[in-house]
């Protein structure tokens, strides 16, 4: 399918005026800049968003173990500009996780028009710290098991595998070294100290899951995970920019501290796009009130965020310039997920994943792999 899009576009690291983006057969074929006939400058053309951490939406969850539910999640987030995502699991039994992964893989292999591509799988748990379990069911947390992880890797074949792990628990570093190269490891739901995080990074941990949530805080005599991020150049991190998980000033501080190493994620649960009420997250029941999800004991339980809102929040709440924010939702997460050779930029030869937004950063139109999202 051919498209010719005109307006301002994020090309080469900044917003360019009067652009024309040509699309054919699912690819970007040409990008013209400073073209007199580009048309209305109101439309803002951005690369499709890449979400590294999403559990569900529209009432469905990747843990439902049903390909139709997985597709429903991908379709919902596509309408909000997410054209690629990492389907994320929650701590559960070996059998429930395997069932979910098989369903995710079946959904990934379907050629569904107007749907976000499942470009990776993110295993969030079950090898997490009891003291920082957050909304994960504590009775599902367990020591690292190489045989279990091997089974999961054999059950699906996405382009990229990610796993959130507490690197300080017994057996975690050995698992990380064993699967390094096959799985990209992220530290999260962790009580790791600054020193333990530095060692974990040396062993192969390259990312931090929902920064400053469910982890050791930054303190004057114990810098924790944030301190480790600050003094290492190779680690990236993600934030949930819903205005609830982190104060807007903290979002700004994280951006200043990490610069181009900070990505936006939603950590969306099945209540995203659905009314307030009671929902399931793994084995737990969560309550959503005013769009905020919590467990019965008050712990935050993911979010109802979408990537378009996360982008707006970083501009409107955190006060960052749009040129700084766009790569957090596009180029960096594409690189983290291992798909930067075809995702995350408006560039000739890349997949035609595009979001057309209004001056108020509201989604007007989405194209996923050259096909219109409705």
Quote the tokens at residue 243: 């205005």
Which one is catalytic: 64, 267, 351, 353? Answer: 267
Q: pLDDT (tens digit, 9 = 90+) per residue, 95-104?
A: 999 999 999 9
Percent of the chain scoring above 90 in pLDDT: 94
Quote the tokens at residue 68: 């139709």
Question: What average pLDDT does this structure show over 263-270?
Answer: 98
Asked if residue 39 has pLDDT above 60, the reply is: no
Residue 249 region by backbone torsions, left for phi larger than 0, else alpha for psi between -120 and 50, else beta: alpha
Domain ranges across the chain: 48-343
- Residue 111 pLDDT grade (very low, low, confident, very high; cuts 50, 70, 90): confident
d(CA 198, CA 210): 18
Q: In the chain, what are the helix, strand and coil shares in percent, each to the nearest 5?
A: 30, 30, 40
Give CA separation, 88 vs 216, 266, 293, in Å.
23, 11, 17
Our CA dihedral for 255, 256, 260, 263, rounded to 10 degrees, sits at -10
d(CA 23, CA 36): 19
Q: pLDDT (tens digit, 9 = 90+) per residue, 317-338?
A: 999 999 999 999 999 999 999 9
d(CA 235, CA 258): 9
Asked if residue 37 has pLDDT above 80, the reply is: no
Give CA separation, 123 vs 7, 208, 304, 307, in Å.
39, 13, 19, 20
Give CA separation, 82 vs 41, 44, 56, 311, 354, in Å.
23, 16, 13, 11, 9
Assigned fold of 48-343: TIM Barrel (3.20.20)
Question: What average pLDDT does this structure show over 335-357?
Answer: 97
Q: Give the residue from 192, 195, 191 showing the smallest Cα distance to 231.
A: 195
- State the number of CA atoms in the 13 A half-sphere of 45 facing the CB: 32
Q: Which helix (H) or strand (E) holds 27?
A: strand 27-32
Question: What was the pLDDT predicted at 363?
Answer: 98
Mean pLDDT, rounded, of the chain: 96
- How many other C-beta atoms are found inside a 10 Å radius of the C-beta of residue 249? 11
Q: Which helix (H) or strand (E) holds 290?
A: none
- Residue 38 pLDDT grade (very low, low, confident, very high; cuts 50, 70, 90): low
351 is catalytic: no
Q: pLDDT (tens digit, 9 = 90+) per residue, 69-91?
A: 999 999 999 999 999 999 999 99
36, 53 Cβ separation under 8 angstroms:
no
Question: What average pLDDT does this structure show over 352-368?
Answer: 97
Residue 302 region by backbone torsions, left for phi larger than 0, else alpha for psi between -120 and 50, else beta: left
Chain centroid, CA 15 distance in Å:
23
Q: pLDDT (tens digit, 9 = 90+) per residue, 170-194?
A: 999 999 999 999 999 999 999 999 9
Could you identify the residue written with the tokens 């004057």?
220
Question: What average pLDDT does this structure show over 30-51?
Answer: 85
116, 82 Cβ separation under 8 angstroms:
yes
Asked if residue 24 has pLDDT above 80, the reply is: yes
Beta strand 44-47 pairing with 354-357: antiparallel
Question: What average pLDDT does this structure show over 285-303?
Answer: 96
- Look up residue 92 and give its DSSP letter: -
- Residue 114 pLDDT grade (very low, low, confident, very high; cuts 50, 70, 90): confident
Question: What was the pLDDT predicted at 36?
Answer: 66
Question: What was the pLDDT predicted at 1?
Answer: 81
Quote the tokens at residue 85: 């995502």
Residue 142 region by backbone torsions, left for phi larger than 0, else alpha for psi between -120 and 50, else beta: beta
Question: What was the pLDDT predicted at 25?
Answer: 93
Question: What was the pLDDT predicted at 78?
Answer: 98
Q: pLDDT (tens digit, 9 = 90+) per residue, 199-249?
A: 999 999 999 999 999 999 999 999 999 999 999 988 999 999 999 999 999
- Residue 374 pLDDT grade (very low, low, confident, very high; cuts 50, 70, 90): confident
Quote the tokens at residue 123: 């295993």
């Amino acid at each position: 399918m051919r498209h010719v899009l005109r307006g301002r576009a994020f090309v080469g690291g900044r917003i360019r005026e009067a652009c024309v983006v040509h699309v054919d057969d699912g690819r970007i074929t040409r990008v013209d800049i400073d073209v007199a006939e580009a048309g209305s400058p109101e439309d803002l053309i951005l690369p499709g968003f890449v979400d590294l951490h999403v559990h569900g939406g529209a009432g469905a969850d990747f843990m439902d173990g049903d390909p139709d539910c997985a597709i429903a999640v991908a379709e919902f987030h596509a309408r909000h500009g997410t054209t690629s995502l990492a389907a994320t699991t929650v701590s559960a039994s070996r059998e429930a996780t395997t069932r979910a992964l098989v369903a995710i893989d079946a959904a990934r292999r379907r050629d569904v028009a107007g749907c976000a591509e499942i470009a990776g799988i993110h295993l969030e748990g079950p090898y997490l710290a009891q003291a920082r379990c957050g909304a994960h069911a504590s009775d599902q947390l367990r020591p690292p098991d190489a045989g279990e992880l091997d089974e999961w890797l054999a059950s699906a074949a996405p382009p990229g595998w990610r796993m959130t792990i507490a690197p300080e628990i017994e057996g975690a570093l050995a698992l990380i070294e064993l699967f390094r190269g096959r799985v990209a490891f992220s530290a999260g739901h962790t009580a790791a100290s600054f020193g333990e995080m530095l060692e974990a990074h040396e062993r192969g941990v390259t990312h931090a899951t929902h920064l400053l949530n469910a982890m050791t805080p930054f303190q004057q005599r114990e810098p924790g995970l944030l301190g480790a991020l600050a003094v290492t150049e190779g680690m990236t991190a993600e934030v949930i920019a819903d205005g609830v998980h982190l104060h807007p000033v903290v979002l700004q501080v994280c951006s200043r501290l990490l610069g181009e190493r900070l990505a936006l994620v939603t950590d969306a649960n099945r209540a995203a796009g659905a009314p307030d009420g009671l929902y399931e997250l793994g084995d737990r029941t969560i309550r959503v009130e005013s769009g905020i999800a919590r467990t019965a004991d008050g712990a935050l339980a993911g979010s109802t965020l979408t990537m378009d809102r996360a982008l707006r929040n970083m501009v409107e709440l955190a006060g960052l310039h749009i040129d700084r924010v766009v790569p957090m939702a596009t180029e960096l997460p594409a690189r983290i997920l291992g798909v930067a050779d075809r995702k995350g930029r408006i560039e000739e030869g890349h997949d035609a994943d595009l979001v057309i937004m209004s001056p108020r950063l509201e989604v007007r139109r989405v194209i996923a792999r050259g096909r219109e999202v409705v």
